[in-house]
Amino acid sequence: MQLLLLSDELGNVIGEATVEECHTGNGKRHLAFVVAIFNNKNEVLIQKRAKDKRFPFYWEFPASHLFKNESWEEAINRTLKRELGIEEKLSYKKIYEFNYFVRFDNTNVVENEHCLVFMCNYNGKIKPNYDEIMEYKFINPLNIYETLKDEKISEWLKLPLDYIIDNFFKYRENE
């Protein structure tokens, strides 16, 4: 059984819990991440969660949790390989972190995370795992809200996207 790392509001590890314990009731804050993958056209990859996932049909950045005894790099590589078929080891830059809590509709399913945001560049082939995601697209970050105006957008897309929009050119110029 994979254990997630519980964290305080600053991201310090304070314990361990199962995936189920972290995502039911009021959940337990745990470490998670999203990856903003940019191509050479300055478009960012977004993906729609599969129907059998928690928060089905929500748009997101590629995302997952940091498991016990796993480095951030290992977690990111695991996730990008599993969700998008990306085998290459990419170079990541941490740009932001935030806490959030959200409940799925009126259910017992929650996200309660201290989330790190990483950026990277990738222009290779995507081989989506349709058990994980329904679809994906590269899109200009400034157009995401308009393009998805009738869609469900996850908090773990909205919060880092707003940060990226506010700081987009600053970070793209510093690479």
3-state secondary structure 67-78: ECCCCHHHHHHH
Burial 2-13 (b: 16+ CB within 10 A, else e): ebbbbbeeebee
Q: Three-state SS for 19?
A: helix
In this prediction the pTM is 0.90
Q: Tell me how long the chain is.
A: 175
Identify the DSSP state of 149.
T
CATH hierarchy code of domain 3-173: 3.90.79.10
DSSP 158-170: HHHHHHHHHHHHH
**Predicted confidence (pLDDT) per residue in 139-174, tens digit:** 999 889 899 999 999 889 999 999 888 886 554 444
The C-alpha atoms of residue 13 and residue 70 are separated, in whole angstroms, by 13
**Predicted confidence (pLDDT) per residue in 132-142, tens digit:** 999 999 999 98
**Predicted confidence (pLDDT) per residue in 57-97, tens digit:** 989 999 999 999 999 999 999 999 999 999 999 999 999 99
